[in-house]
Amino acid sequence: MFSQEKRVGVAVLGLGNVGSEVVRIIHDNADDLAARIGAPLALRGIGVRRVAADRGVPVELLTDNIEELVSREDVDIVVELMGPVEPARKAILSALENGKSVVTANKALLSISTGELAQAAESAHVDLYFEAAVAGAIPVIRPLTQSLAGDTVLRVAGIVNGTTNYILSEMDSAGIDYQTALADASALGYAEADPTADVEGYDAAAKAAILASIAFHTRVTADEVYREGITKITPADFAFARALGCTIKLLSICERVTDGDGRQWVSARVYPALVPLTHPLAAVNGAFNAVVVEAEAAGRLMFYGQGAGGAPTASAVAGDLVMAARNRVLGSRGPRESRYAQLPVLPIGSVSTRYYVSMHVADKPGVLSTVAAEFAKREVSIAEVRQEGVADEGGHPIGARIVVITHRATDAALSDTVAALADLDVVQRVASVLRLEGTAE
């Protein structure tokens, strides 16, 4: 049906869970992929660190010479699934400089080097696709770059890390603490041996940088994304969240902000937040991901599904591979980097939202008015206050817990308030400070 001269040569770098699944898709779905592309795919080689006969593929396809593989004349597209930043960055740049289109799922690299890679692709007149870098199989990148290309995106918010979502979901449903939930996630394979990138928000911040860059036509790096993790969340926080009709989720939020002078900014931030149970993100549990996009004309759109894992991520990679191969056959190119807006990134201190502040205080008259006065001094308006007694293991009163819910305030004003509260003699400690997102106020 197709001539051998039209075959599109593919090199895959990396043979882990995702790489193995991509290789399987190329082999098992060869006829269907050829029909969709207009020419067959030919797997020219697989770059690995260790060449051995036990890798599950013909050993003659394996090579540890990445530089030679990505520069071969019979390779048209390089699929990079090695990670981490290096040696992936060197391999991708070499591939682009040699005129190969590139498909990658490397969020860590993209979040710090999108500009460099995009410029290299532009100079070589080839494609750079990375749908799988954010939220696995969930199509988010392509809708932002193509479906909403004629609209103005106002906000992109979501749950983009399955490990943290599983941990928080377990803490909520089972009433367990963070360490127990993390151990459960590790036992099920959801958490890495070193979970720092997930639980401290680095993974979500990398994805937020990519989403913000695309949505707002502005280069945003991971270092410009404000980040907090989930390690300080307690069962008591979930108990109060439930009392308020909320749950707690680690959110990645990217939004277009217009200040009082009409200037526009980009805000990109990652942190655990209280989310009303009526909000669509509140129902996203386990290791699933979801992204909500709000656009001027389209309104609210939600994308939901498997955010990680070999097969879901490989699905997104294969989709990009088909697009890149089709462009090769037709002699065309996909969307290029759009960074015309170049909006400044809004400092976290200027970001305005609502807050939940929980503190342990002395149980005596006048404490509540003293606490409220510190909020008033910094013009942080209180929406609701809850107070309950705290007892020791023997049931003897040892103080009280006060939870304050604020109206919208800047992060700077709230931070100053919390610092002042911590210095009060009547405040034993400030236990938790969380944002509230998705509320009407």
Q: Which helix (H) or strand (E) holds 278?
A: none
Angle between helices 107-124 and 85-97 (to 10 degrees): 10
What gap in Å lies between CA 323 and CA 400, rounded to an integer? Answer: 60
* Strand pairing category for 427-436 and 352-361: antiparallel
Distance CA 79, CA 70 (A): 10
List the structure tokens of 234: 């307690």
CA distance 195 to 433: 23
- Is 331 part of any known ligand binding site? no
107 appears as a binding residue in the annotation: yes
Q: Using only the alpha carbons of the chain, give its radius of gyration.
A: 25
Q: What is the length of the chain?
A: 441
**Main-chain phi, psi angles of 177, to 5 degrees:** -85, 175
18 is in an annotated binding site: yes
Residue 439 near residue 276 (C-beta atoms within 8 A):
yes
Tell me which of 6, 207, 232, 377 is the catalytic residue.
207
| 16 annotated as ligand-binding | yes
DSSP characters for 13-47? E--SHHHHHHHHHHHHTHHHHHHHHTS-EEEEEEE
Positive or negative, the CA dihedral 182, 185, 186, 191 is negative
The closest alpha carbon to 358, from 323, 300, 402, 319, belongs to: 402
Residue 188 is labelled as binding a ligand: no
Smallest CA-to-CA distance from 257 within 177, 393, 348 is with: 348
13 is in an annotated binding site: yes
Residue 288 backbone dihedrals phi, psi, to 5 degrees: -80, 155
Containing 306, the helix (H) or strand (E) segment is strand 299-306
Catalytic annotation present for 364: no
Query: What share of residues in the chain are helix, strand, coil (percent, to 5)?
Result: 40, 25, 35
* Nearest Cα residue to 111 out of 229, 20, 18, 201: 201
Beta bridge partners of 295: 153, 299
Half-sphere exposure of 269 (CA within 13 A, CB side): 22
Residue 367 phi/psi, 5-degree rounding, is -65, -45
- Is 62 labeled as ligand-binding? no
CA distances from 300 to 296, 304, 347 (A): 9, 13, 26
Catalytic residues: 207
> Which segments are annotated as binding site?
13-20, 107, 192
> Which segments are annotated as binding site for L-homoserine?
192
